[in-house]
């Protein structure tokens, strides 16, 4: 499987090395310690200043792959260690330019001195070499960069910080990135944005593999609707089900079934709220839900009372396969945080497509070459993976219920759009009846745990759209007994 950057390649190599040892039940201290030397066997560094730094980065990545923070609790650097889903890898954090605005060689030492006049903090002076920014006075307002007619002042905000739409990334005195738990929504955008791969998610693959190796444990995989197209254009959901069983899962239930159930129940909620003149939001995206809880707490009562497709699927399995160990597989890092809530219906573990790819390669499995297995979910449930897919499915269910009222949905692709819509809802200015919130631009399929090019994933989604004729959400749920599943979301403080 092709990996699109060197940073993701190194993460993959650590995951695969750990997976290979876990499948052989050979995760001894000696074997774990040898992984950095197997990945980098020579004294020549591949990307960094020296081979010792690269091996230390791999060592910290191996810890993440084993479900541990990159550093032990007591470390010589005295760096605070947390058990968050999203972690900063200290050895990989390169200490990007900490001074955000810097004067470049484009400065013409002009007479207008627009930059100096625009600065309200007296941070800019004019020298014989041009403008100079006193970083002790700079407040990073950006007025100087806007004022310069030559665009000679560069905005060098760190990629991780720029990618965070909730302001959860700060830079400490040690020049390392720090994640503020009170603001972070676990979207994983910072992990995807860092050019050095210095932010990553903690993995549960060793526990998952141990459960698969245990013949007395029934392990069930529940792949997200975004799975189609991830492992190649020919890797359909039917072939993915076969591949997952070859990997070691005893059974596979696609989350698109839970998505159909969510669409049906949210449709009922939407009709009821519309009749009362009340607005609501979806509750499928865990990062969007966390955004509301942490940044718009007064809108919590506007969230749908329906659980996410993942939780709906887990609840169905708990009723039909008691004692099963359930693993959600998708492109979303925030799902790991959702699972940690411990609510009724949480899976036992969560794995991203990145991690699944390492497991497939460790066992030499190519989903594209696997046999097709019959599937049951509607194309509407499978299209939950793309922006607009949730509201489209909900509106289909609304129509099936015979409602002809002019109900409108507001689709939000990315946290920026989500924040704008929530701000409008907060002041009662939202014209639509329901907000579909997707933290990732393009929807779940563009999540940080995805491995395929977005064009390939969109092509796979188009196939689902073409196959929608004849799909009936209500009929499918009735035939599959999903109507019996408790779909009410537990209220979280």
Which residues form the domain of 192?
6-95+159-203
Q: Are residues 88 and 105 in the same domain?
A: no
Note if the pTM is more than 0.95. no
Mapped onto helix, strand or coil, the DSSP state of residue 89 is coil
- Looking at every residue in the chain, the average pLDDT score rounds to 91
Tokens 């599937």 label which residue? 375
Whether the predicted pLDDT of 325 surpasses 90: yes
Burial of 203 (0-12, 13-18, 19+ CB in 10 A): buried
With respect to residue 364, please indicate whether it lies within any of the assigned structural domains. Answer: yes
Residue 255 pLDDT: 96
Q: Are residues 259 and 307 in the same domain?
A: yes
Residue 168 is encoded by which pair of tokens?
Answer: 């959860």
With respect to residue 409, please indicate whether it lies within any of the assigned structural domains. Answer: yes
Sign of the alpha-carbon torsion through 390, 395, 401, 405: positive
Q: Are residues 247 and 352 in the same domain?
A: yes
CB 10 within 8 A of CB 58: yes
Mean pLDDT of 237-249: 96
Look up the CATH number of the domain holding residue 24.
Answer: 3.30.70.20
Q: Are residues 140 and 237 in the same domain?
A: no
Contacts of 76 (CB under 8 A, 6+ apart): none
Q: What are phi and psi of 303, to 5 degrees?
A: -70, 150
Per residue in 120-179, pLDDT (tens digit) is 999 999 998 899 999 989 988 999 999 999 999 999 889 999 999 999 998 877 778 999
Residue 3 pLDDT: 44
Mean pLDDT of 371-394: 92
Calculated CA dihedral for residues 458, 462, 464, 468, nearest 10 degrees: 150
Q: Read off the pLDDT band of 299 (50, 70, 90).
A: very high
User: What does each C-alpha distance from 123 to 97, 137, 163, 397 come to in angstroms?
Assistant: 18, 5, 26, 58
What is the number of structural domains in the chain?
3
Rounded to whole angstroms, the Cα distance separating 164 from 429 reads 26
Mean pLDDT of 26-53: 91
Rounded to whole angstroms, the Cα distance separating 33 from 182 reads 35
Residue 45 pLDDT: 80
Per residue in 433-490, pLDDT (tens digit) is 999 999 999 999 999 999 988 888 887 767 665 555 568 999 889 888 888 888 988 7
Q: Are residues 47 and 170 in the same domain?
A: yes
Per residue in 73-111, pLDDT (tens digit) is 766 666 777 888 999 999 998 767 778 899 999 999 999
- Containing 161, the helix (H) or strand (E) segment is helix 159-163
Residue 448 is encoded by which pair of tokens?
Answer: 């940080």
Residue 76 pLDDT: 60
Q: Are residues 196 and 312 in the same domain?
A: no
Contacts of 102 (CB under 8 A, 6+ apart): 133, 153, 154, 156
Residue 288 pLDDT: 97
Half-sphere exposure (Cβ direction) of 152: Cα atoms closer than 13 Å: 20
Rounded to whole angstroms, the Cα distance separating 430 from 223 reads 34
Residue 417 pLDDT: 97
Residue 469 pLDDT: 58
Residue 348: how many other CB atoms lie within 10 Å: 18
Whether the predicted pLDDT of 303 surpasses 70: yes
Q: Are residues 226 and 326 in the same domain?
A: yes
Q: Read off the pLDDT band of 493 (50, 70, 90).
A: very low
% of the chain with per-residue pLDDT over 90: 75
With respect to residue 492, please indicate whether it lies within any of the assigned structural domains. Answer: no
DSSP letters spanning 346-390 = --SEEEEHHHHHHHHHHTT--GGGSPP----S-HHHHGGGSTTHH
Rounded to whole angstroms, the Cα distance separating 169 from 195 reads 15
Half-sphere exposure (Cβ direction) of 468: Cα atoms closer than 13 Å: 17
With respect to residue 1, please indicate whether it lies within any of the assigned structural domains. Answer: no
Picking from 73, 79, 74, the residue whose alpha carbon sits closest to that of residue 91 is 79
Q: Are residues 44 and 128 in the same domain?
A: no
Helix, strand, coil in percent for the chain, rounding step 5: 45, 10, 45
Residue 369: how many other CB atoms lie within 10 Å: 12
Residue 453 pLDDT: 85
With respect to residue 130, please indicate whether it lies within any of the assigned structural domains. Answer: yes
Picking from 439, 393, 389, 394, the residue whose alpha carbon sits closest to that of residue 418 is 439
Q: Are residues 309 and 426 in the same domain?
A: yes
Residue 8 pLDDT: 87
Which domain-ending residue is among 144, 170, 203? 203
Is beta strand 349-352 parallel, antiparallel or unpaired with respect to 251-252? unpaired
Q: Are residues 148 and 170 in the same domain?
A: no
Q: Are residues 479 and 419 in the same domain?
A: yes
Q: Read off the pLDDT band of 1 (50, 70, 90).
A: very low
Q: Are residues 211 and 138 in the same domain?
A: no
With respect to residue 76, please indicate whether it lies within any of the assigned structural domains. Answer: yes
Whether the predicted pLDDT of 492 surpasses 80: no
Mean pLDDT of 395-403: 94
Which residues share a beta bridge with 277? none
Look up the CATH number of the domain holding residue 441.
Answer: 3.40.950.10
With respect to residue 63, please indicate whether it lies within any of the assigned structural domains. Answer: yes
DSSP letters spanning 243-268 = HHHHHT-SEE--THHHHHHHHHHHHH
% of the chain with per-residue pLDDT over 70: 94
Residue 421 is encoded by which pair of tokens?
Answer: 């819509």
Q: Read off the pLDDT band of 4 (50, 70, 90).
A: low
With respect to residue 210, please indicate whether it lies within any of the assigned structural domains. Answer: yes
């Amino acid at each position: 499987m092709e990996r699109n950057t060197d940073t993701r390649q190194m993460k993959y190599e650590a995951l695969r090395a750990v997976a290979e040892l876990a499948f052989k039940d050979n995760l001894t201290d000696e074997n774990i310690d040898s992984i950095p030397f197997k990945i980098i066997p020579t004294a020549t560094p591949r990307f960094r200043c020296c081979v010792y730094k690269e091996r230390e980065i791999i060592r910290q990545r191996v810890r993440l792959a084993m479900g541990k923070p990159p550093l032990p609790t007591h470390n010589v650097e005295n760096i605070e260690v947390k058990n968050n889903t999203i972690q900063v890898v200290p050895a990989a954090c390169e200490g990007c330019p900490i001074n955000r605005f810097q004067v470049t060689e484009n400065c013409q030492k002009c007479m207008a001195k627009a930059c100096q006049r625009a600065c309200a903090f007296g941070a800019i002076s004019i020298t014989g070499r041009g403008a100079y920014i006193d970083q002790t006075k700079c407040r990073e307002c950006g007025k100087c960069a806007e004022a310069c007619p030559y665009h000679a002042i560069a905005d060098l905000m760190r990629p991780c910080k720029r990618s965070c739409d909730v302001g959860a990334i700060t830079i400490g005195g040690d020049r390392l990135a720090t994640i503020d738990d009170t603001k972070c929504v676990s979207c994983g955008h910072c992990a995807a944005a860092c050019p050095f791969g210095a932010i990553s998610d903690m993995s549960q693959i060793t526990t998952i593999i141990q459960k698969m190796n245990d013949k007395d444990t029934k392990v069930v995989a529940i792949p997200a609707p975004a799975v189609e197209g991830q492992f190649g254009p020919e890797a359909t959901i039917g072939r993915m089900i076969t591949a997952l069983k070859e990997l070691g899962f005893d059974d596979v239930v696609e989350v698109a079934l839970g998505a159909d159930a969510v669409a049906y129940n949210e449709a009922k909620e939407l009709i009821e709220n519309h009749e009362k003149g009340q607005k609501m939001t979806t509750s499928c995206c865990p990062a969007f839900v966390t955004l509301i809880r942490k940044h718009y707490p007064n809108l919590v009562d506007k969230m749908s009372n329906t659980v996410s497709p993942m939780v709906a699927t887990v609840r169905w399995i708990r009723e039909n396969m008691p004692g099963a160990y359930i693993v959600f597989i998708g492109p979303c890092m925030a799902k790991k945080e959702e699972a940690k809530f411990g609510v009724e219906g949480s899976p036992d573990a969560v794995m991203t497509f990145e991690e699944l790819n390492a497991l497939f390669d460790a066992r030499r499995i190519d989903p594209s070459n696997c046999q097709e297995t019959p599937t049951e979910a509607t194309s509407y449930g499978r299209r939950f993976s793309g922006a607009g897919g949730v509201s489209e499915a909900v509106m289909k269910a609304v129509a099936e219920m015979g409602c002809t009222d002019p109900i409108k949905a507001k689709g939000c692709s990315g946290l920026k759009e989500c924040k704008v819509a929530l701000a409008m809802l907060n002041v009662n200015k939202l014209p639509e009846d329901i907000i579909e919130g997707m933290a990732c631009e393009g929807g779940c399929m563009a999540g940080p745990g995805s491995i395929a090019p977005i064009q390939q994933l969109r092509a796979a989604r188009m196939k689902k759209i073409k196959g929608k004729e004849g799909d009936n959400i209500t009929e499918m749920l009735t035939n599959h007994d999903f109507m019996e599943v408790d779909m009410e979301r537990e209220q979280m403080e």
